[in-house]
Amino acid sequence: MGDVIQLLPDSVANQIAAGEVVQRPASVVKELMENAIDAGATKIQVILKNAGKAFIQVIDDGKGMSPRDSRMAFERHATSKIACAQDLFNIRTMGFRGEALASIASVAEVEVRTRREEDELGTYLFIADSELRNQENISCPRGTNMLVKNLFYNIPARRKFLKSDTTEMRNITTEFLRVALTAPQVSFSLVNNDNEIYNFPVSGLRQRIVNAFGKSLNAKLLSVSCETGIVSVEGFVCVPQHSRKTYGEQYFFVNNRFMKHSFFHKAIVEAYSGLISADMIPSYFLYFKVDPSIIDVNIHPTKTEIKFQDEAAIFQILVACVKEALGKFNVTPAIDFDTEGMLDFAMPSSSVLPKIPKVSYKPGYNPFNYATSITKEDSDFERPAARPAGEVAHAKTVPSNWDALFAGLEEKQTDTQTVLTEMQAEALAGESHIAFVQLKGRYIVTPVHSGLMFIDQKRAHERVLFERYLEKLAHQQVSGQKSLFPETLELSAEDFMLVKDILPDLAILGFELGEFGKNCYAIYSTPPDLSHSHGREVLVSLIEHYKNTEGSIRDKMQERVAFALARAAALDYDEVLDNQEMSNLFDSLFACRYPNYTADGKTIIHILKNEDVASWFK
Ligand code: ADP
Ligand code: MG
């Protein structure tokens, strides 16, 4: 047998390389955007059809290419960004491997229009299967216009593996944001099927972040700035209350390149320790500047992990500078008393007759006997809490650990194993109280065994509703209120599809939506706890939540739906509550599984300890 080894044709070699660089439309978007930035563009437009499956166009106003360079750019290992091995240790551009365009041209059809400032005429190229099919002189604006059509048209097996438009679009927005966040001095827009998804004007970094993630973020950004011998870190972390249970707004950049770094992520989490619960993830946008020679970006063409020399030292620097940022903003607010030190109690005015307490009791009721427990329905917020003074009402809805609570009582119940949360125990132990006071239209204050309990009324109600909605979702209860004049909800194509994914869950909660023209829904019914006008708002905020969170695990989604609804439907601050209403809310809260925190980790309850009070009078 003769020799069998032969060199692969370029087109095949390029396709193999493309397997690494070009995995999906989002990879093409990323590479083309990075090239535009490297070309010094000040304006970059990304235009897509069918989430990039039909075409991806990136138009920049950068320096453009000469006719020869524009052809060369599609050769493998053709780059203007490095010339020798030494340059690998001093990379200041986003690209340098010279692989992206060659790879893209091996798996798609590419049209280029490009012109340099100094050239009168620009160049048009058409490339397919890694081959130049056509070249012409054309007149075109300065800069480069890359059109990538029919991705994977020549590799059906890969084309088949492209996901739904919604999913591909989500990947694209992820990449788009990663690039757009590195260059606030450049304007960016993203359009899919004629729907504008983002449009970022030239701005400062803070404004870019706010444009990307929503206005409400503005008040939550704390600036970080530190300069040391090995690294400088600039950017923002978010207030602890903004932390989420899911990943989404965690951004590290090194020398203006997005990176993932799980070790440095731990440093940030460490800086927040004590401020957020262990399952919450803080949001951050941090930009590292280092000497390029101390990092290795060459690990893999698409990997975003980057290795640093001396990671342990940088870890410490990060913890310190994030703690400092959090410290400047006083993140552990105590109960917010008036600055003048005055307590502003909402007292019933003397013209209002006090309500006569209604007392009723079940003659055969034995509080120590669970068989007579009342049902969950009875513990609802709306329930008039009629019970004889001294009766341990919560024991009926919350299985309690009597030993712990009533140590010393003759009659002991030993068969319940459930251990209550500390707060639930407190609420039970303080059961003999009757009085609730509303403070500043925000807090419900009531004495408990170990001191004075403060409950944030809005958050408490949010928690109660959140658990109730989750329950509904689990049990598939439908309960909407029909709207006589359905409102419409016009969306971008992407959001329209997102909503389609979650229609069944929305229906369970009472949101009945019907398609109503292009990218538009009519809202036929809304959940019973919401006014119709609120329904629309909640849907919009829901879509935002959903988009900014990675993954789409179903119960996570349900949690998000329930949470957004609870937030919108909860009673507000400054709503005056009477004793009965406060008592009902109190009951409902302590019938919750997790009364201490809202679904997004905010504190609901605080106890001013007896010892602390005593210490004031020493
Ligand atoms: P790399 O970016 O790693 O150099 P690419 O394959 O992405 O490799 O691009 C090859 C070369 O083509 C670049 O080095 C650059 O000189 C040129 N090029 C690509 N895109 C543009 C653009 N939008 N404007 C100007 N030049 C570009
Ligand atoms: Mg490149």
Query: For position 155, what pLDDT does the model report?
Result: 85
489: which strand partners? 521
- Tell me the CATH number for domain 206-295+309-328: 3.30.230.10
The pairing of beta strand 143-149 with beta strand 109-115: antiparallel
Contact 318, 264 (CB under 8 A): yes
**From the CB of 147, is ligand 1 less than 6 Å away?**
no
User: Could you tell me the two tokens for 500?
Assistant: 């389609």
**From the CB of 97, is ligand 1 less than 6 Å away?**
yes
- Please state the three-class secondary structure of 564-590 as a single string: HHHHHHCCCCCCCCCHHHHHHHHHHHH
Query: For position 339, what pLDDT does the model report?
Result: 29
Say which CATH class 10-202 falls into: alpha beta
Q: What is the dihedral of CA 153, 159, 165, 166, to 10 degrees?
A: -150
Domain ranges of the chain: 10-202, 206-295+309-328, 387-618
Q: How many helices (H) and strands (E) does the chain have?
A: 17, 22
Kindly state the DSSP code that residue 411 receives in the 8-state scheme. S
User: Could you tell me the two tokens for 475?
Assistant: 């049990």
CA–centroid distance, 60 to ligand 2, in Å, is 14
**Residue whose CB lies within 8 A of the most ligand 1 atoms, among 79, 99, 107, for a mutation test:** 79
**Residue whose CB lies within 8 A of the most ligand 1 atoms, among 33, 38, 88, for a mutation test:** 38
Q: What is the dihedral of CA 544, 546, 551, 556, to 10 degrees?
A: 150
Query: For position 366, what pLDDT does the model report?
Result: 45
The pairing of beta strand 605-609 with beta strand 451-456: antiparallel
Rounded Cα distance between 74 and 66, Å, is 13
**From the CB of 174, is ligand 1 less than 6 Å away?**
no
CA angle centred on 149, ends 145 and 154, rounded to 5° = 140
Q: Residue 417: which of 478, 468, 459, 370 has the closest Cα?
A: 370
Q: Tell me, which fold does domain 387-618 have in CATH?
A: Ribosomal Protein S8; Chain: A, domain 1 (3.30.1370)
**Mean pLDDT, 10 residues at a time, over the chain (618 residues)?**
73 68 91 96 97 97 96 84 71 76 93 97 94 95 97 87 90 96 97 94 94 88 91 94 85 92 93 86 95 74 77 92 83 32 34 41 43 34 34 33 30 33 54 75 90 93 88 71 82 84 80 88 82 73 65 58 79 86 90 83 88 90
Rounded Cα distance between 601 and 298, Å, is 39
Kindly state the DSSP code that residue 617 receives in the 8-state scheme. T
541: which strand partners? none
> In sequence order, which ranges of 406-488 are alpha helices (DSSP H)?
422-429, 457-475
Query: For position 354, what pLDDT does the model report?
Result: 39
603: which strand partners? 597
Which residue's CA is the nearest one to ligand 1's atom 23? 36
| Contacts for 465 with CB less than 8 Å, ≥ 6 apart | 529, 565, 566, 569, 570
Q: Which helix (H) or strand (E) holds 123?
A: strand 122-128
Rounded Cα distance between 25 and 450, Å, is 60
Query: For position 547, what pLDDT does the model report?
Result: 66
Ligand nearest to the CA of 44: 1
Query: For position 614, what pLDDT does the model report?
Result: 92
Rounded Cα distance between 292 and 275, Å, is 34
**From the CB of 72, is ligand 1 less than 6 Å away?**
no
| Contacts for 336 with CB less than 8 Å, ≥ 6 apart | 440
> In sequence order, which ranges of 112-258 are alpha helices (DSSP H)?
156-160, 165-180, 205-213
